[in-house]
Structure 1
């Protein structure tokens, strides 16, 4: 539909452009359903009375995915990419599919996660997003882990969202008030990747380390902290982190969903990643801290 859209805007709602009024799109608004994992959407207001369905929003760096489920398009294609990299050309099953093949002695890979069986939960409130388990002769022979991250927003897009919900021809859509919670990268996301990578590296069943699936825009924020020149490695190993970054593809016509396209595939040692987080090239200096404290107190020298 022809509307005047703002610069700060929602990019996708229930997988489609927010001004898409096609039946295939608006039926998902009615259902409150995610087209990528084929379940009710988990993005709602605080009292769960409104399902927002917001997949991605604008940022000053480009359109950015804000819901991890958006990264599971095309029946978990991103997870299948990891499976091929880690285990080669072995049949890939969701947990539901595995149930039908559970007695088959030939090798297969089974995905365990929130939308396939359940997440693997450990003590101290540690749960693994995804585990890909290779099974052969009805025995576990190897596994690898995958963490999938997007980014949270700050503020809200409420007025912007309601304008799209009640859209009319030639409407002027109000500006969204959302910002991006980039602080979460160093407060939560990087420590989580380090911690989980360390757990995987200690298992005798893990040969390929931890994989990390993330929007490329978000990973660039990781690089602001650890630097973009971290030494890379070519071979998989238990103590290696492999990063697969993605972006939204080109805009499409009504009734269609944009592709997600691979941007980068890189590997590095967990220890290098951890060291750079603690002593990274962009760590503020002691002199900067000194000056900030003097300034806060109105002192000179």
Structure 2
């Protein structure tokens, strides 16, 4: 049974299952690796780290094939910690805590990073696997319709693979939930990038209406913005 309101807010929740084995089972191209070894927090020159790299290490310590793996939960705003702390000590809260899901941050930040990392892996003739909640994946699909294929092992265009999970009741542990694999679909960095960047533009007339609406609320002068400290001082002609 699925928990409809449950979503991963911490990437470590994926650790409840052997997701790296599932990456090998579902995403590794060709024959299974003979000597898979896991590297953590591997630095990408000029662009941060990747969470894990599964490398097939030969006897001479040569690495011919590898897959990178990135974990991503949903970002939250505010904090649920006061409610958790009150529950633990059996006290009431003075006021309702404020918190929410920051869907846009995941979409804008994570997908941008994934496109760039997918581009790197394209040049390395490898792939990067994004392990994410199913709800986050569906949100991304709702915002950007990109090419997807289930042939993630064989399609040479695929350099980004989405491996999605949802939380379902654990039959072996009463009251607990565990991650269950839902989707494994691949795309390319170019398809993902184009789907996000080249959306159908709004009508020019609609944008003109927005300009008029903003001006109706009150036009501003550059000098006023400088005085308020909203922008730095620049030379301008106020005539």
Q: TM-score, normalised by structure 2?
A: 0.75
Unaligned runs of 5+ in 2: 218-239
Question: What is the number of equivalent residue pairs in this alignment?
Answer: 210
Q: Deviations over 1:110-155 (max 9, x none)?
A: 1112xxxxx1113334211221111122321211111211121112
Query: 1:286 and 1:179, CA in 2 relative to 1: closer, same or farther beyond 3 A?
Result: farther
Computed over aligned residues only, the root mean square deviation of the Cα atoms, in angstroms, reads 3.0
Matched with 1:276 is 195
CA distance in 1 between counterparts of 2:35 and 2:117 reads 24
Question: Structure 1 residues 184 and 147 mapped into 2: Cα distance closer, same or farther (>3 Å)?
Answer: same
Measure the CA separation in 2 of the matches of 1:130 and 1:174. 41
Match among 135, 141, 147 for residue 230 of structure 1: 147
1:200 equivalent in structure 2: 121
Structure 2 match to 1:30 = none
Q: Is the 8 A contact 1:163 1:174 kept in 2?
A: no
Q: What's 2:129 paired with?
A: 211
| 1:242/1:253 CA distance change after superposition, 3 Å | closer
Query: Do the aligned partners of residues 296 and 211 (structure 1) sit closer, same or farther apart at CA in structure 2, a change above 3 Å counting?
Result: same
Corresponding residue number in structure 2 for 1:247: 166
Residue number among 54, 64, 67 corresponding to 2:7 in the alignment: 64
Contact 2:121 2:159 in 1 (8 A): no
Q: 1:269 to 1:123 in 2, by over 3 A?
A: closer
Shift of 1:277: 0.9
Partner of 1:155: 78
Unaligned runs of at least 5 residues, structure 1? 1-57, 91-106, 114-118
Q: In structure 2, which of residues 38, 41, 46 is the aligned counterpart of residue 111 of structure 1?
A: 38
| Pairing 1:86-125 to 2, within 5 Å after superposition | 86=28, 88-90=31-33, 107-113=34-40, 119-125=41-47
Bigger CA radius of gyration? 2
1:297 maps to what in 2? 215
Q: What is the CA-CA distance between 1:157 and the residue it aligns to?
A: 1.6
**Is the 1:225–1:280 Cα contact (8 Å) retained in structure 2?**
no
Q: Does the alignment pair 1:136 with 2:58? A: yes
Per-residue CA distance 1:23-77 (angstroms, 9 max, x = gap): xxxxxxxxxxxxxxxxxxxxxxxxxxxxxxxxxxx9xx72110111111213xx1
